[in-house]
Amino acid sequence: MKFLKTVIAPAIAVALASADLHAVSIVPQPTVMRENRSLVYLPSGKLSVYASDESLKSLEKVWAESLEKPYEPGTEKLASGFTRIVSSAVLPKIKSTGNEAKANVRLYIDPALAQEEYVMEVSQEGVSIKGGTAKGVWWGLQSLTQILVQAASSAEPGEPLRTSGLYIQDKPHFSYRGAMLDCCRHFFTVDEVKKFIDILALHKLNTLHWHLTDDQGWRIEIEKYPLLTQVGAVRKETKVGHYNDAGAGYDGIPYGEGCYYTRKDIEDVLAYASARQITVVPEIEMPGHAVAALAGYPWLGCTGGPYEVRTTWGISDDVFCIGKETTFEFLEGVLDEVCSLFPGEYIHVGGDECPAIRWKSCPDCQALMKKEGFSEERQLQGYLLHRIEKYLNSKGKKLIGWDEILEGGVTPTATVMSWRGPQGGINAAKQGNDVVMAPNNFFYLDYYQTASPSANGEPLGIGGYVPLEKCWSFDPYDQLDDDTRKHIKGIQANTWTEYISSFDHVQHMDLPRFSALAEVSWSETRTGYDDFLSRVTSSMKPLYEYFGIIYAPYVFKGVK
């Protein structure tokens, strides 16, 4: 069947559309979207795509692969305890064509548009997507995916898909739209990280913050320092239950053998992310959250050890010794390899939750304080970060760190990721630093999604309460005037995995809350939570079920 056709006289077509069509829903909310409500047919078998540019030809192939349905329809209770729902919706196969005139979907680059901006038109002439670059076209294709899934979800088998005529002009408000995945507390395979990237793309999120080192495990191969993964990847056991549970013990089972990413693994993930227009920001924690590194190389600590990879959560007093020059030689050696692997502009250095108690009694740290004229140990962290930033800059990279980096003094060129609520980001922006907002009270996705998690059958979380509406309500510009707003570069959600041991659990915690993250970081104007929830229900829920992505059901059942 021809992709698009006039069914009948235009006036009757509009009448049919109003009777037979549901309004098209897009998440995040587009900048401009107009429906003309004319009835448009899409073939259910094959969809021919014309790409006007070589970069778009490869993009079209990636999109075609991304539409493949990974699971058979049905509802399945998984070994992890979570439920996977897969709809019976079927999307057309994507077929490349060099015939622009006969193509159902046409992809173009329009230099007049911003990099991530796109314009989409759905009419009786076909679907046209123009983007300022391949990035813009890719985000347009994500909107088209939502449209196709909505149409397929209401179509009978073998029947053409039906939608309405559309005009969308859309671009993101923030350039940084990210999500962090902690692979240290619990490890996730390369395939699972790729699936995480797929989920980011569906939400028009463009940054994966990859948490690779922490007290409980070192997850990135560093050829110069092999003990980081030979020793630092494995902890002898893991805490059972919640940290605060009375009588909580340990499982007695070693965790992490072989659980790290080789250089080849990382190159694979980076290529996969790049093809989906996503940048990966690695995090190498310093000076705190370093016990896994100290276990492999005890001379990096103030006491000399011995150290064991940490088996419980929380904060350790054992951190990198800043008074030893060999610590900087080590960190620069690690960063050399990290910078050579990751092409993005940012290297995340952590900087959070670093006690100074070891520095107080360390002769090397005290000698450095005397040499530099420091009056308090916290200045040692600033000293380390200034040196590391200068080193990263020499490699063509920018330093980004958690908001504690403000406490030791920070250069104007460092970017602050504000996690302890928005205030750190507000302070940083007011002093001229660029900021990514990642406030725990809005975007820590290891927090519970309902007010009564036990009664509602929620899986174990770290605590707190961040429902979908709370995520969506975040105002990144609160308390900022026009001059300081320019320093807010984006928004990020964080999935810490102390209590999240499976990728099924990751999905449950992140979805549908990623939809709120997407809207807050993409849409400059929001029309209200009720409208947002309606669009999540009619667009994102069918999308999750088409791909068999696990999601938390509470908001769809009216549970708060």
Active-site positions? 353
Cα dihedral: 54, 55, 61, 64 (round 10)? -120
**Cβ–Cβ under 8 Å, residues 414 and 405:** yes
Which amino acid type is present at position 266? I
Buried b or exposed e, range 453-480, using 16+ CB within 10 angstroms:
beebebbbbbeeebbbebbbebebeeeb
Distance CA 470, CA 16 (A): 39
Phi/psi at 438 (5° precision): -140, 55
Phi/psi at 557 (5° precision): -105, 5
**Cβ–Cβ under 8 Å, residues 496 and 184:** no
Distance CA 287, CA 265 (A): 26
**Cβ–Cβ under 8 Å, residues 75 and 123:** no
Distance CA 256, CA 359 (A): 30
Distance CA 135, CA 137 (A): 5
Distance CA 144, CA 122 (A): 10
Structure tokens at 304: 């000399």
Q: What is residue 125's DSSP assignment?
A: T
Beta-strand pair 105-109/126-131: parallel
Beta-strand pair 118-123/126-131: antiparallel
**Cβ–Cβ under 8 Å, residues 215 and 235:** no
Distance CA 475, CA 528 (A): 13
Phi/psi at 46 (5° precision): -135, 145
Structure tokens at 351: 């900087």
Closest by CA to 312, choosing from 499, 504, 505, is 499
Q: Give the DSSP H or E segment for 201.
A: helix 190-202
Which position has the token pair 């009835």?
A: 39
Structure tokens at 410: 């920070």
Which amino acid type is present at position 315? I
Beta-strand pair 463-465/176-182: unpaired
